[in-house]
Structure 1
């Protein structure tokens, strides 16, 4: 049976962030994920996780200047020192919170910068991150993101991400397979899951095309959940969607899966 993690950045917007942990636990989630936990100290998050019996399945490394449009810096030439400081901070959080999956965002394609130069920066920084994360038993995740939601994002396709993983050859680098992004860019979700499952470290879901609950839109998620189980995936499936209304009221699709 699939195991779901509530994405607290997108879900439960009717609550303050710190209150979303309790809301997710009340709805039966046993794990949560988020984009960036750094506004709260690790002690606060650890208390919230412990009080509500939750695991923090995943979060992102610092992405650069998010408020001014940056979406990661791993592929940006000249930002290596900043990137490494961000990974150090992320690993401090991961160690304190028991999180074993860390998403490292690639960043945007830079005008006037050759693709090969960004590729060199990306591989070099990911290699460093993987080495730094190994001792903490953390897996570095890379995620293809669709260019409609995030124009000019540097990594868009599943085969590109798997090729990066192959070049690095690090056991603790894997691909974050977001069904929403993959459907928009490529489609053929089931075939790609089956093809790449050995290199997939985390899965996320949302309805397509509006990124609402997974019981809306063009994807047949009950079929995909059965397929994911049959492929032997045992990790969390992140619910990274924007609820149409009240989050709890929209969880009818998940009632059969949530165990509490």
Structure 2
């Protein structure tokens, strides 16, 4: 099994290009990030070329303080689409493979219609080789977030009926509110674009907590998933000191 380092949480004590180099030195097969926009794309691209790593994905911006995305907020369409355009431009500059279109805190039919319209805009503007991802967030960490479950995300993708729009299947969020991670992954695999993980319930390294990720990773690999899994956990200190799981987990 191959792993991707999410540099939104790992090696945050250093600049993004140096974090990319650290991920390569640690043995990761790819990287991903949250909001890289304060770092010039040229420096990120140079670090990716130097290390031979791919940037698997990045997020649209959160919005104002306290917000967590804009694309499902009625009346904020202009801001949401500006954020989508920004993400596309940056992704193209560094050859990122996916963009997570963040929905934000909202609910109801108008919010759903707004989200679908903004996703359709994103798909029209985005190059075909970049996947658009939508991610349900758990109710404990993000109460009121528009996307709450994997079933809701799958339903929206079905309604949208456009190619290259997939679920970001985060085992941590699924484990916190839905459970049955492996069964849900297997059922949703055709519409999953990326997989992330962290321990449940504290979001630390995956060799902690109540979920046996060695088992989960083995089942994911056995189902035929061959792309890197995203390590999006909070190390709580020195990242390198938390990486023992990369050797002890033997899936794939």
Question: TM-score, length-normalised on structure 1?
Answer: 0.92
Residue 241 of structure 1 corresponds to 233
Distance 1:245 1:63, change over 3 A: closer
Residue 225 of structure 1 corresponds to 217
Map 1:60-99 onto structure 2 (within 5 A): 60-65=59-64, 68-99=65-96
Q: Secondary structure at the match of 1:56?
A: coil
Would the aligned equivalents of 1:95 and 1:136 in 2 still touch at CA under 8 Å? no
Q: Secondary structure at the match of 2:56?
A: strand
Residue 106 of structure 1 corresponds to 103
Q: Which runs of 5+ in 1 are unaligned?
A: none
Query: Structure 1 residue 150: deviation in Å?
Result: 1.4
Would the aligned equivalents of 2:62 and 2:69 in 1 still touch at CA under 8 Å? yes
Would the aligned equivalents of 2:16 and 2:39 in 1 still touch at CA under 8 Å? no
Distance 2:158 2:82 in 1: 25
Would the aligned equivalents of 2:214 and 2:249 in 1 still touch at CA under 8 Å? no
- Larger RCO: 1 or 2 (CA < 8 Å, sep 6+): 1
- Of residues 163, 168, 180 in structure 1, which corresponds to 2:155? 163
Would the aligned equivalents of 2:128 and 2:164 in 1 still touch at CA under 8 Å? no
Would the aligned equivalents of 2:29 and 2:228 in 1 still touch at CA under 8 Å? no
Q: Which runs of 5+ in 2 are unaligned?
A: none
Q: Secondary structure at the match of 1:195?
A: helix
Query: Structure 1 residue 256: deviation in Å?
Result: 5.7
The C-alpha deviation readout for 1:54-112, integer Å capped at 9, x for no partner, is: 211111012212xx111001100111122222211111111111112110111002xxx
Q: Secondary structure at the match of 2:229?
A: strand
- Of residues 119, 122, 126 in structure 1, which corresponds to 2:115? 122
Distance 1:16 1:99, change over 3 A: closer
Q: Secondary structure at the match of 2:243?
A: helix
Q: Secondary structure at the match of 1:121?
A: helix
Residue 153 of structure 1 corresponds to 145
Would the aligned equivalents of 2:5 and 2:23 in 1 still touch at CA under 8 Å? yes
Note the aligned Cα RMSD (angstroms): 1.5
Would the aligned equivalents of 2:16 and 2:44 in 1 still touch at CA under 8 Å? no
Question: TM-score, length-normalised on structure 2?
Answer: 0.95
1:216 aligns with 2:211: no
The count of aligned residue pairs is 250
